[in-house]
Chains A and B, each alone.
Chain A
């Protein structure tokens, strides 16, 4: 298994356009997380899936953001009507179900979004 895969690696878009990112988690992981990281900051939690169910969304996630995980495998994150403030690195991570202790997250390399 090659780890968490994200596509594309980079995306440049004009303000007002829609963009969609894809994340393929580690195959046996049923938890999937999206984070956003801006320059000089730590990653901030956006949303979380257990299998296909979206269980938690951050207040950071405005109505322009939507995430799906239709079959409990890959996930997509869509941003509608992009704004310059959306420019960031979008990180995907996956993990096992929690058993006896917290299962660490495995991160992808991220998708860097630049909104011009």
Chain B
């Protein structure tokens, strides 16, 4: 069965400093992995996806994630946080029939 574990429920950073949101996955086959972002009172938005092409995936708004099979990880990073990055971030693995299995989320706070 497929699953994801988001290692931090909350992350706080100062504006302009790097962001690291950690995710480990479990999958019985080669997985497709995603990061989605959810701003307050807004719908889920796709940040980036990994589908067995390049292991370093670039997404929108300067985010990127690296697929590491040996570590079963898919951490999300951004070199410099912006106030507008404050949101809930979900690591997601695709199961059979392409249904998405979500992690419990990481709330990112950005302080000025």
Contact = CB atoms under 8 A, between A and B. Distances in A.
Interface of A is mostly: loop
B51 A102 contact: yes
A115 to B, nearest CB: 20
Give the interface residue-count category, chain A: 20 to 34
Contacts of A101: 32, 51-53
A104 B46 contact: yes
Contacts of B105: 40-42
Interface residues of B, number: 24
Contact of A42 (B51, B97, B102): B102
B104 A56 contact: no
Contacts, number: 58
B73 interface: no
A114 interface: no
A105 B101 CA distance: 12
Contacts of B36: 107
A104 B65 CA distance: 16
Interface string A2-19: 011000000000000000
7 contacts: A43-B102, A56-B97, A95-B98, A98-B98, A102-B51, A104-B49, A105-B100
